[in-house]
Amino acid sequence: MQNAGLIVKSPATGVTLNHHFGSPDILVFFSGLFVAAALHTRKVQGAILWGIASATLLAVFFKLALPSLPEGWTASKDVTESLLVKRFALADKLVAMPPSLAPTFLQMDVRGALSLAMLPFVVVFLFMVLFDTVGTLVGVGEQAGLMKDNKLVRAREAFTSDALGTTVGACLGTSTVTSYIESATGVEAGGRTGLTSLTTAGLFLLALFFSPVIAMIGGYAPLTAPALVLVGAMMLRNIVRIDWTDTSESVPAFLTMLGIPLSYSIADGLALGLIAYSVIKLLAGKARSVHWIVHLLAVLLVIYFVAVRARMDHS
């Protein structure tokens, strides 16, 4: 919602609703969201993709039509300050060769990364990737019906795959290759096997040759924001499995759900919920109902936030 321009910063409340609904960014966002949600309701395959496509067409129309639209609208602050005007750029061609990997391939300072000064950063990234992956795999696994007795089937293989992706991606110099919660859209469409992942990988390789169009869409956040909102709605259905009558279960769950978006981090939200879960169970006399590893993780997380994270933020 923030990417779409619907939620903006506020000095009084932190965040607030953007009341300037005349902004083309918001119009593009809602067009994509409504089309995707309606098609998803009708069980149309690729509903989110069609939503992004419809929003893209509207954005292209606005971009091309701006010079001929009424001056009263185009000269307004809603338009002149919009991402459509400032960032959205039409692709100059449809197909192009992928950019070279030479500038980023294996361009790593391994010796510097292994220095004592970098240790806090290594710990931070370790916690981030661990909890991000746990949260994502459990969420998507629950969506796919792959959880048995509250355990993810073949979790070792899933974590190994994620770790390999992270390592190889780093060597290539790209942003972190990891498990993404948006995989829920594939699950929703019926993809639950490795063939789905291989097909997706093949299409990603093919997409490299359409980088101008991909960059045009990916560089304008209101086009992809509807997909994130719809995925969030899909994931929310799993909260019915939480025992809301048990405060020692509901409060940590609530803190986790609220902590993830407000901290802008799956890892931080999960850490907040896990600490609360351990402490509340302990004070409620239910410590033995929780595995000792959970209490150990809670202690380590507190030490991490107090001794490592606080020092890093201060520096």
Q: Give the pLDDT confidence score for residue 255 in this predicted structure.
A: 92
Average pLDDT of the residues in 304-309: 74
Q: Give the pLDDT confidence score for residue 51 in this predicted structure.
A: 93
pLDDT at 149 over 80: no
Q: Give the pLDDT confidence score for residue 240 in this predicted structure.
A: 82
Q: Give the pLDDT confidence score for residue 39 in this predicted structure.
A: 92
pLDDT greater at residue 234 or residue 105: 105
pLDDT at 2 over 70: yes
Q: Are 104 and 174 in contact (CB under 8 A)?
A: yes
Domain ranges of the chain: 1-88+210-238, 102-179, 242-315
The rounded percent of the chain whose pLDDT value lies above 90 is: 11
Confidence of residue 29 (pLDDT cuts 50, 70, 90): very high
Q: Are 186 and 45 in contact (CB under 8 A)?
A: no
The rounded percent of the chain whose pLDDT value lies above 70 is: 94
Residue pLDDT, tens place only, 151-202: 777 778 888 888 888 888 888 888 777 777 667 777 777 777 778 888 888 9
Q: Give the pLDDT confidence score for residue 312 in this predicted structure.
A: 63
Cα–Cα distance measured from residue 217 to residue 39, given in angstroms and rounded to the nearest whole number: 20
Residue pLDDT, tens place only, 72-94: 666 677 777 778 878 888 888 88
Neighbouring-strand partners of residue 16: 8
Q: Give the pLDDT confidence score for residue 54 in this predicted structure.
A: 93
Q: Give the pLDDT confidence score for residue 315 in this predicted structure.
A: 57
Q: Would you tell me how many other CB atoms lie within 10 Å of the CB of residue 56?
A: 20
pLDDT at 47 over 90: no
Q: What is the mean pLDDT of the chain?
A: 83
pLDDT greater at residue 81 or residue 270: 270
Closest CA to 147 of 133, 157, 137, 161: 137
pLDDT at 301 over 90: no
pLDDT at 37 over 90: yes
Determine the straight-line distance between the first and last CA of the chain, rounded to whole angstroms.
31
* Range with lowest mean pLDDT among 11-20, 22-31, 53-62: 11-20
Residue pLDDT, tens place only, 116-141: 777 766 776 777 777 778 877 877 77
Residue pLDDT, tens place only, 189-243: 777 777 888 888 898 889 889 988 988 898 888 998 998 888 888 778 778 878 8
Q: Give the pLDDT confidence score for residue 298 in this predicted structure.
A: 85
Distances (CA, A) of 183 to 47, 166, 179, 237: 14, 16, 8, 15
* Range with lowest mean pLDDT among 34-38, 106-110, 118-122, 216-220: 118-122
